[in-house]
Structure 1
């Protein structure tokens, strides 16, 4: 439910931003800013999975 409200505020058109970019540095910044949060979430998810899988107190 909260996700629906957040997506309303984050209506971002990346292609339009890249098309209107003043230089190539701005385009690179848009690409990094778009993909970096996803990459960070994947790394955090893997770290949590790895830690949960290798817990010593679990006896399989």
Structure 2
């Protein structure tokens, strides 16, 4: 089920850039394709920081 959802959400960025009506749309597509990675990095950093802080409090 999970792989089906991932397959349906997969976006072909190159195709969207080729069909873009103008430069603003291209910039929006690029930013939109990087947002999930930025969010994941932020979550990973928050979890790391929280675990590190918790470890320091135990000492």
Same-fold status (TM-score > 0.5):
yes
Across the aligned residues of Structure 1 and Structure 2, the Cα RMSD in angstroms comes to 1.3
Matches of 1:29 and 1:42 in 2, distance apart? Answer: 20
Q: Does 1:34 align with 2:33?
A: yes
TM-score of the pair, normalised by structure 1: 0.83
Quick check: which one's helix share is greater?
2
Unaligned runs of 5+ in 2: none
Question: Could you list the runs of 4 or more consecutive aligned residues of structure 1 that deviate by over 4 angstroms after TM superposition?
Answer: none
Choose 38-47 or 21-30, whichever is displaced more. 38-47
Change (3 A) 1:32 1:45: same
Aligned residue-pair number: 57
Displacement of 1:43 in angstroms is: 0.9
